[in-house]
A = this chain, B = another copy of it.
Amino acid sequence: MIRAAVIGATGYAGAELMKLLINHPQVSHVAAATRSYEGIPYSQVYPNFISLHDDVCLAPELDALADEYDVLFLSLPHGLASSAVTEKVLSKSRIIDLGADFRLHDADTYEAWYRTSHHGRALLPRAVYGLSEIYREYIAGASLIANPGCYTTCSILSIRPLINARLIDSSSIIIDAASGVSGAGRKAQTSTLFAEVNESFKAYGVANHRHTPEIEQELSIHEKITLSFTPHLVPMNRGILATIYASVPDTVSLDDVWTAYQEAYSDEYFIRVRQPGDFPETRHVRGSNFVDIGFTIDERTRRVIVIGAIDNIMKGAAGQAVQNMNISFGFEEKSGLDLIPSMPL
């Protein structure tokens, strides 16, 4: 049994972490830490937690928290984690950072896309990229885990087996994705007010979204890959769908694609590959840690079309963070994550 603290516990990913950790069989105690609501009962911020977690929120002081908790989850705006995490903190507690600061191996790339300085360059080599299914062996025992982004988790896991098996033209990849509004966070801002988002659909971050270099980093297995990534905003709370296009040589068959996915994922509990031509919807995974993947080859254009679906707050954030905690501490990987997707409702 371990003790866990969530720093930034009142954001959307933080609140989901609280729920998962409170019900986790290997976690004996959970603390919520947050600057905005320090000293206020967590259940006052989120009344759904009444009688379930009435403790007051703690100050987000990593050093002090590291003395008392075995693992610290950081759910903070980018730039804060790289300043706050230190060797001293890492010597006392494990860090699972849900932000972007330690995801990119190259700090220059980070600074170019995020337009800010990186304050934790020295720690970058210690960070493990927490894409659970791909880097499981590195995550085990790791003390600084960079939890992947939501779009990136969905995109990488969906198309990576085909790149790995050299089945597609790697210069032809286009990722057209869409996310529920929770991806924009809980900050008070006009652009995510109900009446601004409801009954509309839009693209954003066209040709410059910050998840692009993260996706490219993880897909550049055999060669450096540059791709198109366009996110869209869907009037719903949670869920991500990525529709991915890539050209396939005439020699590649649907069977080859199927085989590539089977070789990659047949033993993975959280990845469910559909029969060819059967595609996932975001509700198929809502509220769970699953990644559902469907695919077909369009013979008219000789493009493979792959569609991946995740819950952006679960496998795209809190769920994968707990999965990484499980791996890091040697718990059963699905411990606390055996949740059935909430479909139909």
Contacts and interface: CB of A to CB of B under 8 A. Distances in A.
A123 interface: no
A303 interface: yes
Contact of A178 (B178, B206, B288): B178
A285 interface: yes
A62 to B, nearest CB: 24
A91 to B, nearest CB: 33
Interface size class of A (residues with CB under 8 A): 35 or more
A319 interface: no
A200 B282 contact: yes
A173 B241 CA distance: 21
A338 B48 CA distance: 13
A226 interface: yes
Nearest to A241: B201
A301 interface: yes
Given A232-B241, A238-B345, A181 B202 contact: no
Contacts of A303: 174, 228
A301 B186 contact: no
A50 to B, nearest CB: 5
Given A48-B340, A340-B52, A195 B203 contact: no
Among A49, A182, A206, A305, find the residue whose CB has the most chain B CB atoms closer than 10 A: A206
Contact of A202 (B194, B197, B279, B345): B279
Interface string A185-201: 01111101111111111
Nearest to A343: B48
A287 interface: yes
A307 B203 contact: yes
A264 B293 CA distance: 40
A16 interface: yes
B307 A206 contact: yes
Contact of A228 (B198, B279, B305): B305
Contacts of A23: 338, 340
Among A47, A181, A243, find the residue whose CB has the most chain B CB atoms closer than 10 A: A47
A191 to B, nearest CB: 9
Nearest to A236: B199
Contact of A243 (B195, B232, B340): B232
A227 interface: yes
B203 A181 contact: no
A230 interface: yes
A344 B201 contact: no
A289 B341 CA distance: 17
A195 B345 contact: yes
A201 B340 contact: no
A199 B283 contact: yes
A100 B47 CA distance: 32
Given A199-B199, A228-B303, A279-B202, A344 B12 contact: yes
Contacts of A234: 201, 234-235
A272 interface: yes
Interface string A271-284: 01010011111111
A300 interface: yes
A288 B46 CA distance: 14
Closest 5 CB pairs of A and B: A202-B281, A48-B341, A200-B283, A48-B343, A207-B298
